[in-house]
Amino acid sequence: MAELGSRQLFPHLKVASYLSHAGVSPLSAPVLEAVQAHLLDFAGEGVGAVPEVLAMRLRLRQKLAQLLACNPQDLALTGGTSWGVLAVAQNFSWRRGDRIACVQGEFPTNVTPWQAAAAQHGLELIFLREDLADLEEQLRHGLRLVALSAVAFQTGLRQPWEQVVELSHRYECQVFVDAIQAVGVVPFVVGELDYVAGGAHKWLMGAEGCGYLYVRPDRQADLHRHWAGWLSHQQAVDFLFQGPGHLRYDRPLRADPQGLEIGSSANLCQAALEASLNLLLELGVNRIFAHVSDVLDQLEPALGFLGWPSLRRPEAASGMLSFRPPVGTDLSAWERALHQRGVQISTPDGYIRLAPHWPNSLEEVPLVVEAFREVQRSFE
């Protein structure tokens, strides 16, 4: 049973305070057990394990839908966030000259696929500041799609995705959100968003290699089926289980996002994700966010002696606390020195980022503060 602030389900975790869930989360014992059970099913049953895989995929969509507050039918299981971005960028009904807007400072996952689509279809790609006024100015000049992250990966600031979608829809512009830094720790519902993609290995505490893509029902017709494989068809698996006469190549392609799933997928990663989702749903994201906020509320003032500006803001709080050290600070050396003292942090793009999750305890705060103090002294 999961318990906020308890590492009981993480017996293999080595460092005393793991604060890098925004990078890669460590795997819990239930996740490891689920993967092992999945492997043993295939070791013992071979093809006989396939029906359980199909059932697991159905359960996984249902649990993701519960987390995102959407219909499971509107979700595709993917190979990760990049897969979801590419699925939209490569299948969207682009018109030559369409304009796409990304946000300056965005993680490349949510930029590179749009750059490729722009080159392929003759589109114009622009970069926005983190500023709704800048967005509205660009909307007035015509935008077909805006791509942003729910939470900025360097600063940990929650982006105003609700306001972005409301503003964009006034100008008939669609909105794509990379939610990997939000879902699992920050309360998040898809609401009126057009597209949402995420991956398993950060706040969802699964393994790399799988994720999800949500497509709003009234936007599904806007996606072509340039990507299509054997699982893209309606009744795609009937010929394997229903006897002769079901092998056909003229079955219509599915119109829902599952038509983008194409073919075989990372079943081991999906088994891991289902197990981790069980824990997250048991605890509840609202409770998790309150717990993580308590940890950060204590860490932020306690680390004030560093003299580095904290970028955290109450109205844009997420699961992260980021600091901007002075130019020239050797962040790699800081990361190594903190790790030697039992604290794992990350250093994206010149920031020091602390990202606790539900297993982190308030009792870790003094240890983390002392580790930072010792490392600061060592570099003076």
CA atoms within 13 A on the CB side of 320: 31
Residue 203 reports pLDDT greater than 90: yes
Q: What is the mean pLDDT of residues 344-349?
A: 96
Q: What is the mean pLDDT of residues 199-221?
A: 97
Whether the Cβ atoms of residue 83 and residue 198 lie closer than 8 Å to each other:
no
Residue 365: per-residue pLDDT = 98
Q: What is the mean pLDDT of residues 54-59?
A: 94
Q: What is the mean pLDDT of residues 278-305?
A: 98
Residue identified by tokens 């073919």 is: 263
Alpha helices (H) along 208-341: 238-241, 267-283, 285-302, 331-340
Measured at the CA of 84, the angle between CA 82 and CA 87, to 5 degrees, comes to: 110
When pLDDT is cut at 50, 70 and 90, the band that residue 63 belongs to is very high
Residue 252: per-residue pLDDT = 87
Share above pLDDT 70 across residues of the chain, in percent, rounded to a whole number: 100
Residue 102 reports pLDDT greater than 80: yes
Residue 272: per-residue pLDDT = 98
Rounded to two decimals, the pTM is 0.95
Residue 142: per-residue pLDDT = 96
Where do the domains of the chain lie, and which CATH numbers do they carry? 31-280 (3.40.640.10), 285-379 (3.90.1150.10)
Residue 240: per-residue pLDDT = 80
Q: Could you report how far apart the first and last alpha carbons of the chain are, in Å?
A: 45
